Amino acid sequence: MVLNCKHVWNHISDYIEGTLDPAVRADVERHLAHCEICSAVLDSTRNIIILMADDRVFELPIDFSKRLHARLDAVLASDVPDRT
Amino acid sequence: MTAPHPTAELQQEREAALIAAVLSGEREKFHELIRPYERQVYLTALSLVKNEAEAEDIAQEAFVRAYRKLGSFRGDAKFSTWLIAITLNEGRSRLRKENRATIESLDGNESDGTLTPAQLTDWHELPSEVLEREEIRLLMQRAVAELPATFREVVMLRDMEELSIHETAEALGISISLVKVRLHRARLLLQKMLAPRLKTAWKPEKKSGTKRRLSWF
């Protein structure tokens, strides 16, 4: 099946996930091979996913860990977990 | 990404042992048990409230809650998924109490036709130094904050915390197909918001030999 750009955009996320049906995947790849716009949409989406996974984009607040474990120390000292 | 591998199994065994230890009285082992998940729990909280201090507060409460009900962890889900589900509950009950609950599908319309992505043909690979730029970080953070709440939750669990689609569905208590739909729309919305801005924020420099090749699956 010959896909137009809109069809391809609808498949971008599943394409990246690798969950597209093989026949559809082949159609998408055929389109990507000659469509510069969709290739760029795919690349930029992938790049954004890489940025999302990068620890430097969303960092833990300074001393988050220190405050958390101090709080837990207080709870651990006084509470026993439910055994249910 | 979703296939179980030996280290995951080892980790599960290690966690089971730690949980048993905490429950039989070695309470301080709880610190060790949760240490690998601090970031995940914090980001999950942040996906609900968008405010760092509040997210930290929810994260702390979630860990305290997890400690108190540790005995109810059955091991049929991963410990991390269980923790994330507790965090989502904690955050949501707080939003409900304050009447700030997000109304699903009002702002996160799932069936709303094709999203048109930003169409730029001169998109290149991102050099690694791009992230050292505060500007890029801010752009990313703002774009994620602008997403409809239901999309933000899904994209943060899947793409930021790198849970599998299945784990994301499990943690949020929604179907796998709904995760996929929301993920797709979230990613395209981010692409639409970010691609044009990242392109101008990142001005390609002369080749310095430090370009990172992005490898894919």
What pLDDT was estimated at residue B213? 39
Which residues from chain A sit within 8 angstroms of residue B69, using beta carbons? 81-82, 84
What pLDDT was estimated at residue B119? 76
Residue type at B9?
A: E
What pLDDT was estimated at residue A84? 61
Among candidate residues B217, B211, B163, the one with its CA nearest the CA of residue A53: B163
Judged by DSSP in three states, A14 sits in helix
Among candidate residues A47, A75, A28, A64, the one with its CA nearest the CA of residue B120: A47
Nearest to A56 among B72, B119, B131 (CB): B131
What pLDDT was estimated at residue B137? 82
Record: contact A68-B38, CB cut-off 8 A:
yes
What pLDDT was estimated at residue B110? 56
Nearest residue on chain B to A74, judged by CA atoms?
B64
Which residues from chain A sit within 8 angstroms of residue B36, using beta carbons? none
Which residues from chain A sit within 8 angstroms of residue B127, using beta carbons? none
Record: contact B64-A53, CB cut-off 8 A:
no
Ranges of chain B with pLDDT below 70: 1-6, 100-113, 120-132, 199-217
Predicted confidence (pLDDT) per residue in A15-47, tens digit: 999 999 999 999 999 999 999 999 999 999 999
Distance from CA of B127 to the nearest CA of A (A): 10
Whether A4 and chain B come into contact, CB under 8 Å, resolves to no
What pLDDT was estimated at residue B204? 44
What pLDDT was estimated at residue B209? 41
Which residues from chain A sit within 8 angstroms of residue B28, using beta carbons? 76
Distance from CA of A39 to the nearest CA of B (A): 8
What pLDDT was estimated at residue B130? 60
